[in-house]
Amino acid sequence: MKINILTLFPNMFDGFLTESIIKRAVDNKKVDINIKNLRDYSKNKHKQVDDTPYGGGAGMVLMCEPVFDAVEDIKKKNTKVIMMTPQGKQYDQKMAEKLSKEKDLLIICGHYEGFDERISSIVDEEISIGDYVLTGGEIPAMVLTDSITRLLPGVIEEESKDNDSFTDNLLDYPTYTKPREYRGMKVPDVLLSGDHKKIDEWRKEEQIKKTKEKRPDLINNRKRKTIGKYSLIEDTSKKQIVNLNMDNAYKFSPKKKGVFDVNKVMIVEPTFISKVAKKNLQKKLGSLLNQVQIVLNDETDDEGASYVLGELDRMKALIISLYAKYLDQEYLSLLMIKLDALKNEVALKEMEKIETVNYNKKGRSR
Ligand code: ADE
């Protein structure tokens, strides 16, 4: 994976890149981290990249031109562009896991009082690392880079990721090392028993106990559903399924590194996956239909149609790349026909609008 970081303060990354696990991951070519100085993209003779805000107010605002130029220079076809800002979506382990599957990231470190709003148009995702304001996006960019890099295959032991805090929305279990007793505090007997089944059970119980105690919000947001022999745990705050389990499912944790790039595998009946896939698709389609309806009924909005056309194309691509394998052929072709019909309607509407604009222009010039 390649991680490009666009910053006004490249030196801030020196220590980060030259110590510990990140250094080893870079040396072993598990990740390529490329620090780019935003000032190199300034056309101004003073290398200025920010200016005062229109309408007044304190601080300096990052200008469009150097950022647009930098992104256009660095970005490749498959690059995901991320802006670090306190206004972004709050970062969590699930997002780290998703981003670790990308091939190429470009992280822009915002600075001072913020950035020109138009920069958002070239950004795929705005991310915040928490509800507090830092002086810049450099530390947040390091947080992202660190949490993503440790998830890349071969960076840390696969087993140590299995029980990470926040995996399945639970905190990690307590761990102990030598000595067996320290200042009167003893290591729990079960950990010295050598009985791995008991140790696993104890650890799971402790995870739940610890999460209830320290982060009850993680537990309270978990809704358990049972469908036949399956149990689903949904995080209602994120509307995400965080755990899927099945009685007597065949589960295993691959041990041999380099052969598998997964931590755990569970064999589940395809019909069940298809049910979950259809439910997710229905939700996505619902919100897309709303957008289509708005475009078809709004005579004033000039750009909505091309945006919705893009969304419809993205939906088709998502279905093909992610959902198709879980859906039966009949359902899939019907879905594609529906999406094409929607695309035709929106494209027609867009043409009508263009013709009206041209007609009005001609009318005016005559
Ligand atoms: N820049 C300043 N504060 C930030 C935050 N909390 N998250 C991401 N970027 C930021």
Is 102 labeled as catalytic in the residue annotation? no
Q: What is the pLDDT of residues 4-50, one digit of tens each?
A: 999 999 999 999 999 999 999 999 999 999 999 999 999 989 999 99
| Secondary structure (3-state) at 155 | coil
CATH entry 1.10.1270.20 includes domain 165-222: yes
User: Are residues 3 and 145 in contact, defined by beta-carbon separation less than 8 angstroms?
Assistant: yes
- Model pLDDT, residue 366: 46
* Residue pLDDT, tens place only, 145-166: 999 999 999 999 877 776 677 7
- Which 8-state DSSP code applies to residue 91? P
Place of tokens 């229109």: 54
Is the Cβ atom of 114 under 6 angstroms away from ligand 1?
Answer: no
Probe ligand 1: pick from 61, 119, 134, 147, max atoms within 8 Å of CB?
134
pLDDT at residue 191 above 60?
yes
CA of 133 to the centre of ligand 1 (A): 5
In CATH, 2-158 is 3.40.50.1370: no
Residue carrying structure tokens 């220590």: 15
Nearest CA to ligand 1 atom 9: 85
Interval 168-188: pLDDT, tens: 778 889 999 999 999 999 999
Nearest atom within ligand 1 for CA of residue 130: 6
Q: What is the DSSP string of 202-221?
A: HHHHHHHHHHHHH-HHHHHT
Give the span between the Cα atoms of 248 and 308, in whole angstroms.
Answer: 44
Give the Å distance between the CA of 219 and the centre of ligand 1. Answer: 27
Q: How far is the CA of 107 from the centre of ligand 1 (A)?
A: 12
| 134 Cβ inside 6 Å of ligand 1 | yes
Q: Determine whether the shortest distance from the Cβ of 86 to ligand 1 is under 6 A.
A: yes
Whether 321 shows a pLDDT value over 60: the answer reads yes
Q: Whose alpha carbon is nearest atom 5 of ligand 1?
A: 86
Query: What is the percent of the chain where pLDDT is above 90?
Result: 51
Domain ranges of the chain: 2-158, 165-222, 271-365
Rounded distance, CA 76 to CA 105, Å? Answer: 10
Ligand 1 geometric centre to CA of 222 (Å)? 28
Per residue in 59-111, pLDDT (tens digit) is 889 999 999 999 999 999 999 999 999 999 999 998 999 999 999 999 999 87
Same fold, 2-158 and 165-222: no
Active site residue 39: no
Amino acid making up residue 191: L
How far apart are the CA of 84 and the centre of ligand 1, in A? 6
| Position 310 pLDDT exceeds 80 | yes
Cβ–ligand 1 contact at 84 (below 6 Å): yes
Q: Is 164 a catalytic residue?
A: yes
Q: Is 135 in the pocket of ligand 1 (CB under 6 A)?
A: no
Closest to 125 (Cα-Cα) out of 151, 94, 91 = 91
Rounded to whole angstroms, how far apart are CA atoms 200 and 293?
A: 52
Per the annotation, the verdict on 131 as an active-site residue is no
- Given the residues 104, 126, 158, 164, select the one marked as catalytic: 164
pLDDT at 364 > cutoff 60? no
Among 50, 104, 138, 150, the active-site one is 150
141-155, 205-219, 230-244: lowest mean pLDDT where?
A: 230-244
Backbone angles phi, psi at 264, to 5 degrees: -145, 145
DSSP string, 276-318: HHHHHHHHHHHHHHHHHHHHHH-SS-SSHHHHHHHHHHHHHHH
Q: Which of 113, 116, 311, 345 is catalytic?
A: 113
- pLDDT surpassing 70 at residue 252: no
Q: Is 160 exposed, middle or buried (0-12, 13-18, 19+ CB in 10 A)?
A: exposed
